[in-house]
Structure 1
Amino acid sequence: MPQSYEPAINRQSRSFPYELRSFPSRLVGGKVPAELAKWMQAVTLGFHGDTLGDAEIELYATSAEVDGQVVTGAYLIDANAPAGAWGPAYPVATYAYHRKSLNVGAGTLLPVHQITGVTVRPSHRRRGLLRAMMGSDLAQAKAAGIPIAALTASEATIYGRFGFGVATDNSTIEVTVKGGLDFIVPAAVHRGVVEIADVSTVRDLHNEIFARVHATTYGSIGRQDMYRLSASGEANYGLAKPMKNIRAALHYDDAGTVNGYVTYRPRRDKKRPSVEIIDFLAVDDAAYLALWNYLGSLDLIDVITWDSAPVVDPLEWAMAAKRLYKRTLTEDHLWLRILDTPGALAAREYPVDGTLTIHVGDPLGHASGIFRITVVHGKATVTRCPEDGSVESELSMGVSELSSLYLGGVSAHTLQKAGRIREESPRAVARFDAMFAAAEAPHCMTDF
């Protein structure tokens, strides 16, 4: 006999037939709560990952608890799922956040609200679910005093409408090393010592090394606990078992202290033997170039590939044959969303003193207003101005544009040419660019 199914509910019978529920990622009594386990399975579905087993769910929950992750699910209410389908205990949309810090220069690590795990089930799209989750979460982050939200996007066209703007890019590179790497200044790549280590050593060193790199890298954002395991090849999201062919090399400074590492995986391809970099952290330039010199010395390898290289890379200019360094892809990486305009702008440093009045539009209202930025000795005082017509802005932009400009990864001049900002006073764009110029290109080494 054919199987009998209950009739599907009419989900259009209510304007928003969903309930948003938030709860922490944590074990209770040493076990993963069923609600959290189902939320994780829904995230895995959204990112096309393998179905999670109990051990994998426990690993992810334990790691997320270290980060203080809070998750949100959108659940159908007053509905019965058709027989055989996932029931209402599984969320139809997911969202999560944790809070760490963003390096905005001059040694300042600014608190940041990091958004992750965003999915909407295909059968429930265009119902306002993402807008509901995002709107509620950003409002709570603003109320908590967090000046900036951040995410790394799987798709490039979703988050601009919520006020996010691209703040950093990453490059995928191929470096030809067949026959070894030659450097213009050989002495620059021979400072300190590089030695092989067990990958478990990287797992144990990761947090300390990253903290040092994070503190000195403009545009860096905090890493989640899982990076200890992914850097060492022990586990990753979607792969909760070790990769057996991960190798590690450590760099020691003149005092014998580890100040950098690289983990990598050989690719067995007879036509084009290569090595893929898994993670690469270097506290200083000496460690960075020395580790690249090591990679260039690997036997039987033609090419080194890396998908998280900085857009402005010292390696390219250190190599004797610059053409052996190739960018195969450059794409957006870190997206920022200013929530507190005075707080965010006052936190960063400025190379040029001056005064500028800008108008910021924000459809969600968190960052909007007219603001006068006064920079003295590199520090800004940001004053909210009345919006009664008594103060005229010199430059107008949306919060997405201001968020992209925040780290100096793009210039106001470029966004003006793109039609995205409006100059209300002569030379305002040039003055903005002089004030917001960054001493170095921002670089983010974290996906989340």
Structure 2
Amino acid sequence: MTIIVEPTDDFPYEIRSFPAKFAAGGADPASRKWEEAVDFGFHGSAPEDSDIEKSLISEEKDGRVHTGAYAASAPHGAWDAAYPVATYASYRKTLNVGAGKLLPAHLISAVTVRPTHRRRGLLRAMITEDLRRAKADGLAIAALTASEATIYGRFGFGAATHAATIEVDSGHGFALKAARLGRGFVEIAEPGELRGLEPGLFDRVHARTFGSIGRQDSYRHRVSGYWNFGKPGRDRTVRAALYYAADGTCQGYVSYRVQESETPPTLKVIDLLATDSDAHLALWHFLGSVDLVQRIRREGVPLADPLPWALADKRRYQVKEVEDHLWLRILDTVAALQARHYWLDGTVTFRVTDALGFAGGVFRLHTLDGVGTVTQLAASEPADLELGAAELAQLYLAGVGAQTLLAAGTVRELRTGGAAAVDAVFAAPVPAHSLTDF
């Protein structure tokens, strides 16, 4: 265990970090109480020791580091001082920055602050120290998914991708237009099969999806219904179907549950992975064929979803909600911009401000044949656009355009036409999409 912030008179908390690790003798007391605090923060069920052990085994595979803020004492009858009053976790995966390029990224998760210890600088102390260490380790970018949209902007994070919740009328008359469904076939499978299939299939989809972030080990357990954070025990309502190509190889799956108590009866998609459009359409053809269901609901759908254009009746497809999904934080502007793939050639210059001091400066980006070259310039050099670290993160995957941010008043144009020039350089053929919650 490492103490990363010592208590002071003004900040009477000790911040400690330790690796997630499962020992044969069971979870150590610090890990057990940290996991209980996380479940409390996200309103999960109070975990049994066996549930905590499952979590630790999975988190150890991801190389997660747990951080907690600890008060010096606790009153009689309350949770004792060995329970953290705030939690935080970090680990490393990759971000698809275009054309199959995978950039190592620092992922942040399990952020909670106990309601009785709010507004005391606990999150700021944990996140700024963690980001400092990540940059020192050579990471160019950090990422998270936010439960609340107003928390992370002040730390330089910006919403970089968005996703939709959709509902599809699967009642009488549901049909797809495509004639390619005969190339492969779908069969029912035991959900447990997904524990072995998910990692390999996801890696293939991840490699071809701009904006995708790597998945944690727990995903394979969640999508199979084996276990989920805050929901201990096997979920026996989960069902699964696999798509096989004509050569008999598995190229996709869907896991789902049917909620007959809803009106109308609804099939909820838990996860759908498809390595190509044949698999995607065939799995949707299967979902639309499930009896005693009149509606299909799926969250986390890409904004450029081809499904409505494949339906015989496009009006059966409704977007119910669009929300921000993946939030990014640039830690090293030169490294992050040079890692990304660019579909258009051009040259633009940014003046970046960063209150935390990680990404600020004046930077010229020149793109040619997909490759970006970045030069850091003197602070006095002219620039096309002035923006903060959060706005740079929003632009990074073309999740929003500079001209839109200019109209919103969150960036400043330093040269007439500068925002349009930035948009031309950062343009992507399809909206970035992440398939991962964490």
Number of residues of Structure 1 aligned to a counterpart in Structure 2 = 432
> How far apart in 1 are the matches of 2:109 and 2:167?
29
Q: Which residue of 410, 413, 436 maps to 2:403?
A: 413
> Where does residue 5 of structure 1 map in the other structure?
none
The reply on whether 1:138 has 2:131 as its aligned counterpart is yes
TM-score, structure 1 normalization = 0.94
- The one-character-per-residue Cα deviations of 1:176-195 (angstroms, maximum 9, x if unpaired) are 010252223x3133331111
- Is contact 2:100-2:209 (8 Å) kept? no
Superposition deviation, residue 355 in structure 1: 1.3
The reply on whether 1:422 has 2:412 as its aligned counterpart is yes
> Where does residue 181 of structure 1 map in the other structure?
174
> Where does residue 111 of structure 1 map in the other structure?
104
Superposition deviation, residue 271 in structure 1: 4.1
Task: Write the mapping of 1:40-439 to structure 2, written as runs, cut at 5 A.
Answer: 40-77=35-72, 80-184=73-177, 186-269=178-261, 271-387=263-379, 389=380, 391-439=381-429
- Is contact 2:45-2:232 (8 Å) kept? no
> How far apart in 2 are the matches of 1:180 and 1:383?
58
> How far apart in 2 are the matches of 1:268 and 1:420?
46
- The one-character-per-residue Cα deviations of 1:341-375 (angstroms, maximum 9, x if unpaired) are 01110111112212111101111010000001111
> Where does residue 446 of structure 1 map in the other structure?
436
> Where does residue 4 of structure 2 map in the other structure?
none
> Where does residue 18 of structure 2 map in the other structure?
23
Superposition deviation, residue 71 in structure 1: 0.6
- Is contact 1:351-1:434 (8 Å) kept? no
Structure 2: runs of 5 or more not aligned: 1-6
Structure 1: runs of 5 or more not aligned: 1-11
SS at match of 1:301: coil
SS at match of 1:269: coil
SS at match of 1:410: coil
Moved more, 349-358 or 212-221: 349-358
SS at match of 1:94: strand
SS at match of 1:358: strand
- Is contact 1:112-1:149 (8 Å) kept? yes
Superposition deviation, residue 13 in structure 1: 9.2
Choose 1 or 2 for highest CA Rg: 1
- The one-character-per-residue Cα deviations of 1:126-164 (angstroms, maximum 9, x if unpaired) are 111100000000000000011110000111100000000
Task: Give me the identity figure in percent.
Answer: 52
> Where does residue 8 of structure 1 map in the other structure?
none
> How far apart in 2 are the matches of 1:410 and 1:346?
19
- The one-character-per-residue Cα deviations of 1:264-299 (angstroms, maximum 9, x if unpaired) are 101113741111101110111110011001111111
- Is contact 1:165-1:401 (8 Å) kept? yes
- Is contact 2:98-2:342 (8 Å) kept? no
Deviant stretches of 4+, over 3 Å: none
The CA RMSD over aligned residues, in Å, is 1.3
> How far apart in 2 are the matches of 1:412 and 1:103?
21
> Where does residue 3 of structure 1 map in the other structure?
none
> How far apart in 2 are the matches of 1:375 and 1:172?
35
Superposition deviation, residue 14 in structure 1: 2.3
